[in-house]
Amino acid sequence: MTRKLFTMLILVGIAAGWLLQPVLAKKGNGQGGCSTPKLTLREAADVLFMREEEKLARDVYTTLFAEWGTRVFDKISDSERQHMQAILGLINKYALVDPAQDFGKFSDPKLQELFDSLVVTGLKSEVEALYVGALIEEVDMEDLVHAIDRTKKSDLRNVYGNLLAGSENHLRTFVKNIEAMTGGRYEAQWMAQTEVDEILGH
């Protein structure tokens, strides 16, 4: 992966803190209605960011499957749709404004730039596409861990924890395909090598 791509990923991580400011709404009109449960701005920003980050994964994998026909992309893109729905459940529960847009379109310009760059890289070759998938999962896992650390709400932590377990499985699948194709051992692209090796069971 290029240094430019890594820089963009770092910017996306920073952007999660201040670009995604949620609009918090209330249910009820003061006539016996109950107020919608509240999130802190940080918690709400994390929920909205994870919604679009899961969408980015789905859109990238769907695009790469159309190009290469590699079944792993088709299978994991279906899983990412389920992840998106899990986050949408939180968005609806807390009356946030869903940032998800049309396929390949993102409300956050940094995520849009990232999507475009990942697709360009993934269209170079099938093995590059698999590395893109592994990179997305590494970044996703790190973001989920941070989101878990920033909340004490059990519903958020449960959803994030389930998504984290899913991303670990996705990484294992991508790495299995990469190592079978290259004959070499996978080198971590974003997380510490020791963390990735632990997930992979190396």
Residue 7 has what pLDDT?
Answer: 41
**Chain CA centroid to CA 115, Å:** 11
Could you read off the pLDDT of 112-169 as tens digits, one per residue? 999 999 999 999 999 999 999 999 999 999 999 999 999 999 999 999 999 999 999 9
Alpha carbons 174 and 187: distance in angstroms, whole number: 12
Which is it for the CA torsion 137, 99, 120, 1, positive or negative? negative
Place of tokens 């670990």: 168
3-state secondary structure of 25: coil
Residue 73 has what pLDDT?
Answer: 98
Distances (CA, A) of 24 to 29, 41, 96, 167: 15, 9, 6, 29
Residue 175 has what pLDDT?
Answer: 98
Distances (CA, A) of 30 to 26, 27, 93, 132: 10, 9, 19, 50
Whole-model pTM: value is: 0.84
The dihedrals phi and psi of 27, each to the nearest 5 degrees, come to: -95, 155
Structural contact between residues 134 and 200, judged by C-beta atoms closer than 8 angstroms: no
Residue 33 has what pLDDT?
Answer: 52
Intervals of the chain under pLDDT 70: 1-34
Query: What domains can be seen in the chain, in order of their start residue?
Result: 3-16+41-200 (1.20.1260.10)
Residue 96 has what pLDDT?
Answer: 97
Residue 37 has what pLDDT?
Answer: 79
Contacts of 66 (CB under 8 A, 6+ apart): none
**Chain CA centroid to CA 62, Å:** 14
Nearest to 190, CA basis, from 145, 140, 149: 140
Residue 36 has what pLDDT?
Answer: 74
